[in-house]
Amino acid sequence: MAKGKAQKQVPRYLQVCNELVEMIRTGEVAVGDMLPTELELCDRFEISRHTAREALRRVEDMGLVERKRGSGTRVTAREAPVVYNQYVANIDELMQYGQATRLAICSAANDPVPARLASALGCKPGERMPHLLGLRSYRDQNSAPPICLTEIWIPHASANQAKLLLDLEKSERMLYKILDFSRLSRVRQTLSADSLATDAAELLEADPDSAALVINRRYHDLGDRLILMAISTHPKERFRYSTELRSQ
């Protein structure tokens, strides 16, 4: 190889990491197969176990392999998925609203689930669960029309939680206290457009049949159980949903 000295630009562990990534990319080691063990890498590349581990750690960080003590290193993907990070500071921002808005609860009842929502809620049509309806507006602008109409369904609520929820006259912040959002692991959001139904239009002080942005959010806990589903209907021009995806 004839390395005088300055060849050292790329650290050894990165070289090994790259070779491993390449082995996976070309399919020399297929998805599902085991990568060489740390000690085998030590032999093959003439490196210490520390260096082998550093290389494997990088490959793991790329999301290409899964390591398990006692078992080994298994390939889980052929190419690194492009990961975009979306940073969200707190639960409010996750709900896409800051401190500036509040949700005024219009009604709260133990309602039967309509057929169109049954599958999304993972229950049978007609089953009853806590169901809230509220209007979100800017905290300081009482005269302005609301930003959106929000419908909330809460499956798997305990009897005690249900009681608290139905008494709910306060802001939505109480929701976070009653439900355990600290166990949040996954949120699925679906955005679509629809025209406003007449009753919704009235509440929202908007024209019937005008366009609206509908956001359906489902919050799952660590056990992947649906904690809450919220459907927000925003008349056009009152709301925009923005996300920024950053690579790596």
Please report, as ranges, the residues that interact with its own copies according to CB under 8 A.
Answer: 81-90, 94, 184-195, 210-214, 234-237, 239-247
Q: How far is the CB of 220 from DNA (least distance, A)?
A: 25
- By DSSP bridging, strand 226-235 and strand 148-153 are antiparallel
For residue 184, the 8-state DSSP code is E
Q: With CB under 7 A as the rule, give the number of residues binding DNA.
A: 26
The site partner of 67 among DNA, its own copies, none (C-beta below 5 to 8 Å per kind) is DNA
137 is an interface residue for DNA by CB under 7 A:
no
49 is an interface residue for DNA by CB under 7 A:
yes
Per-residue tokens: 188: 């699925």
Per-residue tokens: 205: 């002080």
Per-residue tokens: 8: 């050292």
Residue 10 or 100 with smaller CB distance to DNA: 10
Per-residue tokens: 46: 């003439």
Residues recorded for the chain:
248
Contacts of 102 (CB under 8 A, 6+ apart): 136, 137, 139, 171, 172
Which of the residues 63 through 122 are near DNA (CB under 7 A)?
67-73
Residue 179 or 212 with smaller CB distance to its own copies: 212
- Where does this chain bind DNA (CB under 7 A)? 8, 11-14, 35, 37-39, 42, 46-51, 53-54, 56, 67-73
